[in-house]
Amino acid sequence: MYKSLALLAALYIVAAPNQAEARDRNPQYSPIYTVQRGDTLRSISKATGIDQTEIRACNPQLRLKKGNKIRLYNQHTVKQGDSLSAIAWRYNSTLAEIVDYNPRVRRIDVIYPSQKVAVPCHEERTEPKRYGTHEHEEANGNGKEKPKAESKKPHGRARTVKYPSGLELAIVNDPVLVGKIGYFRDPYNGGIPLVKIPRDKLFERVSKHFTVAEFIAIEEKEERCIDALTKPQVYKVEGDYYFTHERIDPKLVRLLEKVRTKYSKPMVFDEGYRPPRYNTCVGGKSPHPRGIAVDIHAPGFTLVKVGNRWKKRQTPLYRIVDKAFVMGGVGNGSTTIHVDTRRKRSRWGY
């Protein structure tokens, strides 16, 4: 996987943050909630801003009887050397979810020792950070699809790309970067514009649950591909690497957010956008350089024994993805699920 959670950079501990408006969790509620007359799981979820599934995870034997105490979330006491990304990893979560749980944290790179950080009731990790296996997807059944131009080219005076969160990033047309020999050229002429990622926008949200960084992070095992030509095109943040520019289809973001909402659990990406040179180095023959693809770090199938034979059974996440990307490409692997927004339906296994 990556050196830091969900392809996100480790973040320093410094002085205490100022107050901020709530994003998801209502900060007026402490970890323990006393059930009131007429309460339902839905009403409690709506009032506290915590998903019903998360409340159930905290309370396996949930009983909504007046006066009962139920847990809404857990708390982590920050220690020197902690970071939000490390805390998220420990509690089997993502940085975006931890930010949702802590609306009073104004800056995600600013926490301080002894601070209480709200975390979901997930099982804590005890194993070392994982490193994902990289499965390379076929374009279609025979691997010979010729990408068609997408209708995503900027029209008129368009100067930015707008993502579902409302974030807008500036389009880059510099021939040095996007020309025939430019590092960020689009070899497929797919039409998704290249945008510049200011360093201070790395951890901005492109949707409710996903950040810019999650689409442009480089897996640690692929850092071997950061050669002399690639190095000027990446940021190094606390030992992790992120591309300075990206092509990311807003439709891809919308569909991934739809999947995440339906799945109701954190999702981690292996990689999203890959410039052509980097894509070649990691061995990929895929739509990633077009800005229309992401590899989700989760198995698309499990093996179940039926009689004397082992058969593949689709995972719940794969079934959700399959429905959301009905006209796109979906690759079903043992450790990853590839998704993309190509114009025609394509399915394959690896």
Same domain flag for 98 and 20: yes
Q: 88 lies in which domain range?
A: 5-119
Q: Pick the residue with more confidence: 156 or 186?
A: 186
> Is pLDDT above 80 for 83?
yes
Same domain flag for 325 and 259: yes
Same domain flag for 94 and 166: no
The verdict on residue 286 lying in a domain is yes
Same domain flag for 309 and 185: yes
Same domain flag for 248 and 340: yes
Select from 61, 95, 119 the last residue of a domain.
119
> Is pLDDT above 90 for 338?
yes
Q: How many CB atoms lie within 10 A of CB 189?
A: 12
pLDDT at 67: 93
Select from 119, 149, 168 the last residue of a domain.
119
346 near 145, Cβ under 8 Å? yes
pLDDT at 187: 86
What is the count of structural domains for the chain?
A: 2
Among 120, 232, 245, 119, CA closest to 171? 245
116 near 51, Cβ under 8 Å? no
177 near 184, Cβ under 8 Å? yes
Select from 119, 148, 176 the last residue of a domain.
119
Distance separating alpha carbons of residues 56 and 51, to the nearest angstrom = 9
| Mean per-residue pLDDT, 162-172 | 94
pLDDT at 97: 79
Q: What is the largest CA-CA distance in the chain?
A: 68
Same domain flag for 334 and 194: yes
pLDDT at 87: 87
* Distance linking the first and last C-alpha atoms of the chain: 18
> Is pLDDT above 50 for 135?
no
| Mean per-residue pLDDT, 144-151 | 41
Instruction: Encode pLDDT of 257-301 as tens digits.
Output: 999 999 998 898 989 999 999 999 988 778 999 999 999 999 999
Q: Residue 76 belongs to a domain with what CATH number?
A: 3.10.350.10
- pTM, to two decimals: 0.61
Q: Which residues contact 56 (CB under 8 A, 6 or more apart)?
A: 41, 62
pLDDT at 100: 79
User: Confidence class of residue 4 from pLDDT cuts 50, 70 and 90?
Assistant: very low
Instruction: Encode pLDDT of 199-229 as tens digits.
Output: 989 889 999 999 999 999 998 888 999 999 9
Mean model confidence pLDDT for the chain: 82
The verdict on residue 144 lying in a domain is no
pLDDT at 210: 92
pLDDT at 315: 95
The verdict on residue 39 lying in a domain is yes
Same domain flag for 228 and 106: no
